[in-house]
Each structure stands twice: as C-alpha cells, then as structure tokens.
Amino acid sequence: MVSLIKAGIIKKNKGSPLEEDACYEIRYLDEGHLNEMMALQEVIVQNLADKEIFRTHSIDYFRVLFMVENAAIGAFADEGLIACILLQFPGKAGDNFGADVNLPKDDLSKVVHLAKVAVHPAFRGNSLQRKMQSIHLEVARKMGCYHACCMVSPKNRHSLENMFSHGFIIKALKVKFGSRLRYILHKNLLCPNIVVPDEIRIASSNIGGQVCLLNRGFLGFRLVQLCDDLEISYGRVHAPMIQ
C-alpha cells in the first residue's frame, strides 16, 4: 500500500440533508490507480455545468504523469478515490507555462505545473484542493522547482479562489490548447510576489479589459464574488529578489 500522507474526517454531501462524516486518507498515486482515476474523471465531467472549464485526458496521459515519483496525489474514502491532483514537469522543451508568463529562459527547467485537480461532487467543500496542493507545492519545492504555474478558466470561481489562497497570481490571460481561454497563474516558490494593491477591480468576464491591465503590468491577486458576477482585483507587484 502506498504511504499515507494525511488522514482525518471530512463531510460527505456537505450542506445537504444527506450530510455525514466520512474518513479520508491522502496518499501518493501510482499506476495501480489509473482505472480509478479514469472513473473519477468521468464523474467530474458528468457533473460539470460547463464542460469547457475542465480538460479530460486519456489513460496514457495519466500513465506518463504517474511514472514520476510523487507527482500524483489522491484522497480516498470508503468509496475509493474521491479527489486527485497532478504535477507535471514540462522541462525546457515542452509547452511550459513559465514561457507564457515571461520567466527567464534559464528558469524554465525549474517550473512545475499544477496540472489537474478534481474533487468528487459528494466531497466538495472540505478544502481538499487546498490540502492536497499544499502538500504538492512542498513536494515540488523539495524537488528543486523555483516556480509553480497553473491554468484556470475565468469561469472557474472555486479553483481560482483556491489558487489565490496559495499565493498564486494571474500573470497572463490567453487562449490555450487551441480554444480554451485561461488565466495563467504563477507562484515563485522561493520568494513570493508581494502585490501592492493599487487596486483595480474588473469583471472576470471582461477579457479585453483584463488583457489590457496585464499588458500595463497589473497582476490579478484576488477574487470578489458579487451577487451575479465575479470580479478580479488587479494590482502592481513588487518583484521578488529571485524572479
């Protein structure tokens, strides 16, 4: 059995009449979990109101990622795999999000992607994304990564909120993978960015306005939920000593 990283009690069906306590364990995943991973992906997709926010992958894609030690973490309950997150190490040659946020070329080999996160709908609201990503960011730092990057859809409020809570900031907004509009977020793992809130708030649906702010050197650092819209706060950043 793969080593245990963390365990505890969470809520199943949180906030509904069916709410109950459930035991969970967080463990590293390996090839033996590939089928469960595919089944979880299917449940996630079936339950998405907007399928554009979540990219699906083949079992071969996961197999390659799972071969890298500690790159995949899963949470388990009695039902089996209920959540997963994946790291990807793009190297200098691949589609490196570090290039999208203008990191120096020499740093691209030190970039890790937070490639995927998914929590089974029955177990949402337990901060599993945050819990597992905290573990993974520490793993990546210990592996010698200086920079963590990830992509999030402007429509994906919950994932965006969780990335901001880890200190990620929006550094670019562009179409990726052919047709998907994505924020590209970055966190310097050695020396966190300090955002000076010269604050300008703008609707997350205002794509042109946000691109304009990014081009002027503003970076997105917070999300504000209004009754019928999401706004992103943009500010200037004090560059860290180590870019």
Ligand X SMILES: CC(C)(COP(=O)(O)OP(=O)(O)OC[C@H]1O[C@@H](n2cnc3c(N)ncnc32)[C@H](O)[C@@H]1OP(=O)(O)O)[C@@H](O)C(=O)NCCC(=O)NCCS
Judged by CB under 6 A, the residue of 41, 88, 129, 210 near ligand X is 129
CB of 160 to ligand X, least distance (A): 9
Is position 133 an interface residue for ligand X (rule: CB under 6 A)?
no
Is position 61 an interface residue for ligand X (rule: CB under 6 A)?
no
Judged by CB under 6 A, the residue of 109, 127, 134, 243 near ligand X is 127
Stretch of 99-107, 154-162, 174-182, 228-236 lying at the interface with ligand X (CB under 6 A): 154-162
CB of 149 to ligand X, least distance (A): 13
Is position 53 an interface residue for ligand X (rule: CB under 6 A)?
yes
Identify the helix (H) or strand (E) that includes residue 41. helix 34-46
DSSP-based helix, strand, coil % in the chain, nearest 5? 30, 35, 35
Choose between 83 and 103: whose C-beta lies nearer to ligand X.
83
d(Cα 150, Cα 168) in Å, to the nearest integer? 9
Is position 41 an interface residue for ligand X (rule: CB under 6 A)?
no
CB of 106 to ligand X, least distance (A): 28
Choose between 119 and 213: whose C-beta lies nearer to ligand X.
119
Could you list the beta-strand ranges (E) of 120-168. Answer: 147-152
Angle at 100 between CA 116 and CA 94, to 5 degrees: 65
Contacts of 106 by beta carbon, 8 Å cutoff, 6+ apart: none
d(Cα 152, Cα 53) in Å, to the nearest integer? 8
CB of 123 to ligand X, least distance (A): 7
Q: How many residues does the chain have?
A: 243
